[in-house]
A and B are shown apart, each in its own frame.
Chain A
Amino acid sequence: MSRTAFRSLSRAMFLGFVRDRTALFFTLLFPVLFLLLFGSLYKSSTAPRVSVLEVGRVSLLDQAESAAPGQLGKVLAITHTADLQTALADVRKGDYDAAVQQSGRTLVVHYSIADETTAGIVQTVFTSIVQQADATAAGSKGGYQLTAAQVEDKSLKPIQYLAPGLLGWAIASGGTFGAAITLVNWRENKLLRRLRLAPVSVGTVVLARVGVAVAVALAELVVFLAIATTPYFGLRLASYWWMAVPIVICGTLAFMAIGLLVGAFARTQQAATAVANLIILPMAFLGGAFIPLDYAPAWIRDVSYVMPLRYLVTGMQDVMARGEGPVSAVPAIAILLCLAAALTAISVRVFRWDSV
């Protein structure tokens, strides 16, 4: 591979991109506008308060309350009751979201999964309370520390869904449209043929194009983080947020591979745009980009598993917002890379240099 050729091709493609106002708008500005719009719309709405029946005495709740007075009440509305059977009936009917009882060191939480959102919150809140108690028990004296921050950490605020979701959508559409339209345009205007007639390897051309796309995707990441972490939106990045970088790169590869396949079949730019829209738009709704999967109906959550976008979005959410470790990103990265490899292999087989 020639380095001069690679550099000048990358430069040519990069200039071609930044001088295209429409492309710039749709890849960078449009998703940011979405972020500003949705971010502002949902800013005031916090996670819904969960109503909990305290059956008997649950000392863990008292500990949590005394550790951080007033904080627990922001998340849980606690009602005392004595009878477990009536409490469970109430939960079944949906009058209360959960019933909780403690026997010795075991905390039992009863909840219905009729409303998955609330169920999720119940789970995370109590997991967090137990972890907190465990942590303090292992430590020295009784310095309980249930701060509001730690409780809210787990219950994702809208911006924590929105930023990775919309970023994932931006990267998916940028990669797919970029690859498909470039391929179709270059075939139509015979630039592809011109490159084939030059002593430059196909790998160099592809690598230059992918390099530019990855650079653009990382620029999107930077812009999104810069906006979402402003005090106004208040996104707090978890410690391993930088794992979003490899996820973004792999996501770009996967969605460029989708675009490559679209471009291999589409004959005109209009056709390529239509097909790419047909793929990306439903995926944005079903893959957790526009509708957070935690709040989505069960069927959407089931369908989301076959949406490549799901892995890009949830992978980023896990490391950026949920505070999961770097290893949590590995499955998402592996799935995206496998998809990229498989689709590229198919594209190579159906690739056409010329329209005829």
Chain B
Amino acid sequence: MSATISVRNLRKSYGPKVAVDNVSFEVEQGEFFGILGPNGAGKTTTLEILEGLRKPDGGELSVLGLPPWPRNTALLPRIGVQLQASSFFERLTAREQIRTFASLYQVPSSRADRMLSLVGLDEQAGVKAEKLSGGQAQRLSIACALVHDPELVFMDEPTGALDPQARRNLWDLLRKINADGRTVVLTTHHMDEAETLCDRVAIMDDGKILELGPPAALVRALDTPTRISIQSGLLDAVAAGQLAASADSLPADHIPGGAGSDIGVSDDGVSLTFATREPAVILAELAGRNAVAGLRVQGATLEDVFLQLTGREYRA
């Protein structure tokens, strides 16, 4: 049994610019796989090669056991691709859109209508695609990608321009799709999205995969201190300094936040924040002194992993 997607040493350049540089990975059946990266990292190009829209310059590639290039009509009915929320026929209603796409796959209209219900667009069935809200259009576009019941679904930044409610709503839908046994591959630059949805993520930059694994494992491997904040003024500076020093066994002359150190204590007038590798000790001490008002404990997130790998400078 081979993997649903198998990519080995994939390469693609546009002129002098290398978009995908020797990328290798596998996606198992039923997996929710994320490709993360800043703009221009090569994630969209990778996805387009997998979908069969672009010809790779080199490397081995198989999707559902088939080569996607050149355009493979045996493969097309088995994959679903969600495109931008505007990729519709002009002036057709939601129902007409999805029925038209269904007919391209020889799928009956009844199934198209069921997909419309699944994404919660029953009430908007008679509304023209141009008049749908961003979230509704995005859901319609996902319904159109799923209308032929594909085994493998590709999504390129599916929650791009949505408000928080619409994003949560869409996440539930994506989880449902994946729970039905479909393999889902998505690209995103929303770290929270990748962390909640994906079984595994590949972090890409400059056309290379920098890190690959389950989000939690990547975060753990980062080994960053935990940040504990309480309201300012509950603890005086001297007591806070002593507490921080004793918990992490720091030297007495430790400068918080100084070069080479990411642990210590700081106070910005609003919150008093400990960065520590021994959160249990600090939390116990704070509890003992009854100084827990406004308590907030933050571990590292996928975003920290991402920023550490890709740097903080602006991207195009």
Which A residues form the contact surface with B (CB < 8 A)?
Answer: 2, 4-5, 7-9, 11-13, 15-16, 19-20, 185, 189-191, 193-200, 353-354
A103 to nearest B CB, angstroms? 70
Residue in B81, B90, B96, B101 with the greatest tally of chain A CB atoms within 10 Å: B90
In the complex, what residues of A have CB within 8 A of residue B77's CB?
A: 199
In the complex, what residues of A have CB within 8 A of residue B51's CB?
A: 197
* Contact pick for B104, options A11, A19, A20, A195, CB 8 Å: A195
Main secondary structure of the interface of A (DSSP, over half): helix
In the complex, what residues of B have CB within 8 A of residue A195's CB?
A: 104
Task: Please state if B81 and A16 are interface contacts (CB–CB under 8 Å).
Answer: no
- A-B complex: 9 closest residue pairs judged by Cβ atoms: A8-B103, A198-B104, A19-B91, A190-B87, A199-B76, A12-B100, A16-B90, A189-B86, A12-B89
B165 at interface (Cβ–Cβ under 8 A)?
no
- Total residue contacts A-B, CB cutoff 8 A: 73
Complex CA–CA separation, A191 to B141 (angstroms): 11
Task: Please state if B106 and A12 are interface contacts (CB–CB under 8 Å).
Answer: no
Task: Please state if A198 and B76 are interface contacts (CB–CB under 8 Å).
Answer: yes
Task: Please state if B100 and A8 are interface contacts (CB–CB under 8 Å).
Answer: yes
In the complex, what residues of B have CB within 8 A of residue A199's CB?
A: 73, 76-77, 104-105
What residue of chain A has the Cβ atom nearest to residue B106's Cβ?
A4
What residue of chain B has the Cβ atom nearest to residue A8's Cβ?
B103
In the complex, what residues of B have CB within 8 A of residue A191's CB?
A: 87-89
B131 at interface (Cβ–Cβ under 8 A)?
no
Task: Please state if A189 and B87 are interface contacts (CB–CB under 8 Å).
Answer: yes
Interface string of B62-78 (1 = CB under 8 A from A): 00000000010100110
B92 at interface (Cβ–Cβ under 8 A)?
yes
A74 to nearest B CB, angstroms? 53
B68 to nearest A CB, angstroms? 10
B83 at interface (Cβ–Cβ under 8 A)?
yes
Complex CA–CA separation, A270 to B315 (angstroms): 30
Task: Please state if A197 and B53 are interface contacts (CB–CB under 8 Å).
Answer: yes
Task: Please state if B88 and A189 are interface contacts (CB–CB under 8 Å).
Answer: yes
User: Would you mind naming 6 contact pairs between A and B with Cβ atoms under 8 Å apart?
Assistant: A4-B106, A15-B96, A190-B84, A195-B104, A198-B101, A199-B104
Task: Please state if B89 and A193 are interface contacts (CB–CB under 8 Å).
Answer: no
Task: Please state if B91 and A16 are interface contacts (CB–CB under 8 Å).
Answer: yes
Task: Please state if B103 and A194 are interface contacts (CB–CB under 8 Å).
Answer: no
Task: Please state if A4 and B88 are interface contacts (CB–CB under 8 Å).
Answer: no
Q: Find residues 105-137 in chain B having any chain A CB closer than 8 Å to their own CB.
A: 105-106, 128
Task: Please state if B105 and A198 are interface contacts (CB–CB under 8 Å).
Answer: yes
In the complex, what residues of B have CB within 8 A of residue A19's CB?
A: 91, 128
Complex CA–CA separation, A118 to B252 (angstroms): 113
Task: Please state if B103 and A193 are interface contacts (CB–CB under 8 Å).
Answer: no
In the complex, what residues of B have CB within 8 A of residue A16's CB?
A: 89-92
Residue in A4, A16, A197 with the greatest tally of chain B CB atoms within 10 Å: A197
Task: Please state if A196 and B53 are interface contacts (CB–CB under 8 Å).
Answer: yes
* Contact pick for A12, options B83, B87, B96, CB 8 Å: B96
What residue of chain B has the Cβ atom nearest to residue A6's Cβ?
B103
Complex CA–CA separation, A57 to B73 (angstroms): 82
Complex CA–CA separation, A229 to B216 (angstroms): 78
What residue of chain A has the Cβ atom nearest to residue B72's Cβ?
A199
In the complex, what residues of B have CB within 8 A of residue A5's CB?
A: 103-104, 106
In the complex, what residues of A have CB within 8 A of residue B71's CB?
A: 196
